[in-house]
Structure 1
Amino acid sequence: MTEVLWLLALALAMGATGLFSGLLAGLLGVGGGIVIVPVLFTVFPFFGIPESVQMKLAVGTSLATIIPTSLVSARKHFAKGTMDVALLRSLAPSIALGVLAGTLLGVHVQGSVHTAVFAAIAMLVAANMAFTGVDWRLRDSFPTGPARHGVGGFIGGISAMMGIGGGTVGVPILSMFGAPIRSAVATASAFGVIISIPATLGFVYGGWGDPALPPPSLGYVNLLGVALIVPASLIATPWGVNLAHSIPPLLLKRLFAGFLALTVLRMWWSLAT
């Protein structure tokens, strides 16, 4: 009976995580991973999940939820003709190599190191949302040659290690190199496909047989979380879209930056104590 109640409570927490991530996705256009990972990291301790697997389980579960959403999103953006297919093809190999490296690091580093990396990158995302305007850019064209592949590797590696799709890191980077926002969002949606599928498989394999994982898990992917987060987020996303029309976009960016900064501080606090 106790185990049934525990699973029911975990299911409610996963459903609530999906609703919250979907709401913010609709409000801000951010990928669910940047919301799902910190929320799960905060929720897992209440269920007695060991600290050694909290971040890895949050990341692996988040990556698995990104697979269906990124496939649907990329297909729709491609159909609308806003995706920069040439840029995508040139970046795909380096992104894939970055995903391999990021997955290996994410699976094998200690939980505290993993948490610190997520917190550091999330703080940069929060700073970008807090202090830049909508049209800020570094230059008017994407770099070529080794620099282009370096950027692709960075996007793939960081995204796989953090459990996020291509949008959270990819959209700001494409925008700062001169891509129109619609093209940046469309192209980054395809990044999510390249990132989420192999990274999820890596986290499944890397966590296989770990005795610290809660049921029902497949490696570092919690199946209950995937089954509830995906539909709940799809339900709540239209709510966020409707709400976004009544709130200024810049204010929304600032509010999300505040949420992310508070989450990062919570992570740093957990590392210090």
Structure 2
Amino acid sequence: MLSHLLEAGIVLFVSGFFIGFLSGLLGKGGGLLLIPTFWFIFPFIGIPEKIVPKAAVATSLACMTVTSSTSAWQHIKKGYLKKDIFFNLLIGAVPGVFIGSAITARLLSPEMTKLLFAIFLIFMSLKMLKKPEKGEKTEKINKRKVLLTGFASGFIAGLLGIGGGSLVTPMLYSFADVPIKVAMATSTGIVFFNSFFSVLNYIYYGLNKVNFPYFFGYVYIPVLIFMVPSLYIGTRIGVRLMHRVNSEKLRKWFAVFLIFVAFEVILKLVGGFLK
């Protein structure tokens, strides 16, 4: 098992850099790529199949605290992360996170968790393929809508093990009338708190249920050791390039990739049911 863990560590380190880079470049937390990576790696190193889905979700959230905090700090220094919008988002997100992660940790089956994740992947990939609107919002910010956006992002984050950035940015822009650049930057801050509070929930619910070595609740510690350095480096580089490179083509290719990942997950679920 130790040799498998070292081999997996190399894969995790390399993939961490690219996931971090895309997270910084696209303003995402990285959960859409982290979770499928862990679904592939965890069985390879001998982690029981019954805990793989929840362990992947929890470990993904732990990794996203690194990518999102790195991105948020870079945006704070550039002046794009607005405190008033952020704190209203946070007030709404905290209860949403605990409700969503509690449902997954205590009620949902591994198969249902995977199915919901696949559906969400398809939904978000279609939104990414849609041509974005041009221009900036100039209307007065509606705090109630910002609160609702925060709750929705927190609930989705806890339920599916993502940071919620893919949901926060379009909702802030189209639903709460927040300028697009401010929406992208502020979403990284809320992704950090969504991920952080969700991780606490998964640790709490997994302490007495996971007896496999190197686990803290549902979080698999060796992944953090191998991935955190490369995630940090990749995210910093991605954020620096975010405002310099036209990423529209990259977004479209990324969306197509997400569709393939989603259908792969669905095919594996169907195959499992047919066995």
Report the TM-score when normalising by structure 2: 0.85
In the alignment, which residue of structure 2 is the partner of 1:186? 185
Q: How far apart, CA to CA, are the structure 2 residues paired with 1:137 and 1:41?
A: 39
| 1:101-180 equivalences in 2 (<5 Å) | 101-108=99-106, 109-133=108-132, 135=134, 143=142, 145=144, 148-177=146-175, 178-180=177-179
In the alignment, which residue of structure 2 is the partner of 1:39? 37
Q: How far apart, CA to CA, are the structure 1 residues paired with 2:138 and 2:78?
A: 26
In the alignment, which residue of structure 2 is the partner of 1:263? 261
In the alignment, which residue of structure 2 is the partner of 1:80? 78
Q: How far apart, CA to CA, are the structure 1 residues paired with 2:165 and 2:185?
A: 9
SS at match of 1:53: helix
Q: Which runs of 5+ in 2 are unaligned?
A: none
SS at match of 1:132: coil
Does the CA contact (< 8 Å) of 1:103 and 1:157 recur in 2? yes
Note the C-alpha offset of 1:59.
1.1
Q: 1:51 to 1:212 in 2, by over 3 A?
A: farther
Q: How far apart, CA to CA, are the structure 2 residues paired with 1:267 and 1:192?
A: 24
In the alignment, which residue of structure 2 is the partner of 1:250? 248
Q: 1:148 to 1:247 in 2, by over 3 A?
A: closer
Q: For the aligned residues, what is the CA RMSD?
A: 2.8
Note the C-alpha offset of 1:245.
9.1
Cα deviation 1:14-55 (Å, max 9, x = unaligned): 223312312322443332222111221233233343332222
Q: 1:139 to 1:257 in 2, by over 3 A?
A: farther
In the alignment, which residue of structure 2 is the partner of 1:68? 66
Report the TM-score when normalising by structure 1: 0.86
Q: How far apart, CA to CA, are the structure 2 residues paired with 1:235 and 1:65?
A: 13
Does the CA contact (< 8 Å) of 2:168 and 2:187 recur in 1? yes
How many residues are matched? 269
Q: 1:131 to 1:72 in 2, by over 3 A?
A: closer
Q: How far apart, CA to CA, are the structure 1 residues paired with 2:236 and 2:224?
A: 20
Note the C-alpha offset of 1:124.
1.1
Instruction: Compare 174-183 and 108-117 and name the one that shifted more.
Output: 174-183
Paired-residue identity, %:
30
Match of 2:26 among 28, 44, 48: 28
Q: Which runs of 5+ in 1 are unaligned?
A: none
